[in-house]
Amino acid sequence: KQASSYYEKDNYYCRRDDLDNTWQGKLVELAELPEHVAREDFNAFIKGRDERAGFDLCFSAPKSVSVAMVTDDNTRRDMIAAHDAAVASVLQKIEEREIGTRITKNNVTEHIKTGNMLCAKFRHYVSRTSDPQLHTHAVILNQTMHDGKLYAVDNPDLYRNKFLYGQMYRNELAAELLKKGYDLSVTDAEKGFFELKGVPEAVLDHFSQRRKEILEKLKSWDT
C-alpha cells in the first residue's frame, strides 16, 4: 500500500510525460503500452498490487559524463545516447537471466525462468542536490508471464549480482563512448570505473555535493 505513494512522492520518477520515460521488456507489447511511460499508466501498475510493487535499479553515469553534457548540444546527445544504449543492453541481459517466478505443483515449489518483464525507465539529469548527474531509474514491475498467466517476479540472484550488472553497465557505456571518439581514463580497472579525459578533478569534486552529503552522514554515524 505504501508503494504508490512512494513512487508518486514529488513525482520524482515520472516527473512528466516526455521522451525521458520509456518502457522496456517483452511484456510491453502484451500490455499494449506506448513507447513512452505516461504517469497514469505507471501508477496504475503500481497501485494494482497489494504486495511488492517492483524492483528499482539505478544506473548512474560517471560524473565526468554528466558534466560533459552541459558543454554543447552534440556532446549532450552523445552522452545520452551512450548511456541509454548501455542501460538497455544490461536490462535485456537481466530480463533473460534473472526474471522468473515460483511455481508450485504437487506441493513442490520451484523457480522457473520466464525471461519476460515490464520495466519503466526514467532518465534523470541531476542529483537530489541538483548537481549534474545523468542516471536512469529502471523499475522492473512485479509481474512476469508463464504459460499465459501473470505471476509475481522471483529473482533471487538479482540483488546478489547487482555489482556485476553495475560493472556491465559501465563496460557498455565505455564501449559506446569509445565508438563515438571520446577518450577515457580508467580510475579502477577491477570495477570498471572510468572518467572522460579532459575534465579536471576540481570540477568533478565541485559537482559532487550528493556524495559529500553521504560521506558526512557516514562520519556522523561513526561518531
**Taking residues 92-104, what's their average pLDDT?**
95
More confident residue, 202 or 2: 202
Give the model's confidence band at 65: pLDDT under 50 very low, under 70 low, under 90 confident, else very high: very high
The C-alpha R_g of the chain, in whole angstroms, comes to: 19
Q: Is the pLDDT of residue 208 over 80?
A: no
- Strand duo 193-196 + 184-188: pairing: antiparallel
As given in the structure block, the three cell numbers for residue 158 are 538479482
128 vs 209: CA distance, rounded Å: 9
Look at residues 119, 120, 136 and name the one whose alpha carbon lies nearest to residue 61.
136
Q: How far, in Å, CA of 207 to CA of 66, rounded?
A: 9
* Average pLDDT over the chain, rounded to an integer: 86
For residue 150, give the 3-state DSSP assignment.
strand
Residues with Cβ within 8 Å of residue 68, at least 6 apart in sequence? 75, 76, 79, 196, 199
Q: Identity (one letter) of the amino acid at 8?
A: E
Burial bucket for residue 61 (CB in 10 Å: 0-12, 13-18, 19+):
buried
